[in-house]
């Protein structure tokens, strides 16, 4: 069965500093990996995805994530955090071999960026 | 991208009643899904809404409790039946566009926040 772990409930970072939000996954086959962001009282928005190819993927709002197959990780990063990045971030996985179109979400990590 | 409209955006319901949530997409989509997000928690997939056939439910969710309709490629409804306070949650409609063969990202509606008293 596929699963996603986000080990940190909350990440605090000062504005201008780099940020990392961690994600590890477990699938029986090869994964499709996604990051989504949820701003207060809003629906989820897609940030970026890894399907195949280059392990470093770039997405919206200056975010990027690196797929590491050996560590089964897909950490979200940004070189310089903004206060407006404060939100709830979800990592998600889809098992391309067995899971079809079913997307499983992690528990979410709340990011606080302090001015 | 797509515009996904959900109604109602929020409601307060009495125990034992049922409520139907509507999801309207501004373009045709192959895959439509219904998720539940309980307060402070992650998203849990309820079911895949299949056009013209019965929905595919995930473990722990049954058709009698969460009947789903999908009469065409742009519209779906989720009914939460015989509600209890444990059903208080945000219900999210999401879609994936045709042709992405599972590689596509999901687009979400704004959600329907239900409070059951």
Chain B touched by A32 (CB under 8 Å): yes
Between CA B33 and CA A94 the distance in angstroms is 14
- Among A29-33, A110-114, B58-62, B108-112, the minimum mean pLDDT is found in A29-33
Chain B touched by A101 (CB under 8 Å): yes
pLDDT of the residue at A97: 66
What residues pair up with A25 in beta bridges, in sequence order? A4
CA distances from B44 to A57, A61, A67, A72, A104 (A): 26, 26, 24, 22, 8
Chain A touched by B61 (CB under 8 Å): no
The answer, yes or no, to whether residue A28 has pLDDT greater than 90, is no
The answer, yes or no, to whether residue A70 has pLDDT greater than 60, is yes
More confidently predicted of B71 and B40: B71
More confidently predicted of A109 and A27: A109
| Total residues belonging to chain A | 115
Q: Which of B42, B94, B102 sits opposite A94 (nearest CB)?
A: B102
Chain B touched by A67 (CB under 8 Å): no
Percent of chain B with pLDDT over 70: 95
How far is the alpha carbon of A115 from chain B, nearest alpha carbon, in Å? 25
Chain A touched by B106 (CB under 8 Å): yes
Q: Which of A34, A45, A90 sits opposite B42 (nearest CB)?
A: A90
More confidently predicted of A63 and A51: A63
Q: What is the pLDDT of residues B24-70, one digit of tens each?
A: 999 888 889 999 998 778 899 999 998 888 899 999 999 999 999 99
pLDDT of the residue at A22: 98
Answer yes or no: do B45 and A102 touch at CB < 8 A. Answer: yes
Between CA B85 and CA B24 the distance in angstroms is 27
Q: Which of A43, A94, A104 sits opposite B109 (nearest CB)?
A: A43
Chain B touched by A112 (CB under 8 Å): no
Residue A111 has a CB neighbour count (10 Å cut-off) of: 21
pLDDT of the residue at B99: 59
User: How many Å separate Cα A6 from the centre of its chain?
Assistant: 9
pLDDT of the residue at B51: 86
């Amino acid at each position: 069965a596929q699963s996603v772990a986000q080990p940190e409930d909350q990440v605090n970072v000062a504005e201008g500093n780099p940020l990392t939000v961690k994600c590890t996954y477990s699938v029986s086959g090869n994964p499709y990996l996604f990051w989504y962001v949820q701003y207060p009282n809003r629906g989820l928005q897609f940030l970026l995805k890894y399907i195949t190819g280059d392990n470093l993927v770039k997405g919206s709002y200056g975010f990027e994530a690196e797929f590491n197959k050996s560590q089964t990780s897909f950490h979200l990063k940004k070189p310089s955090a903004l206060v407006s990045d404060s939100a709830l971030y979800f990592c998600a996985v889809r098992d391309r071999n067995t899971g079809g179109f079913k997307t499983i979400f992690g528990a979410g990590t709340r990011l606080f960026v302090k001015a | 991208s797509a515009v996904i409209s959900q109604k109602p955006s929020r409601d307060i319901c009495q125990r034992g009643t049922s409520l139907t949530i509507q999801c309207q997409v501004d373009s045709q989509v192959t895959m439509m899904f219904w998720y539940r997000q309980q307060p402070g928690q992650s998203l849990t997939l309820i079911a895949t809404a299949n056009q013209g056939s019965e929905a595919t439910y995930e473990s722990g969710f049954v058709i009698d409790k969460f009947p789903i309709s999908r009469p065409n490629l742009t519209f779906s409804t989720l009914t939460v039946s015989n509600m209890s306070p444990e059903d208080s949650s945000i219900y999210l409609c999401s879609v994936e566009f045709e042709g992405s063969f599972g590689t596509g990202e999901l687009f979400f509606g704004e959600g329907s926040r239900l409070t059951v008293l």
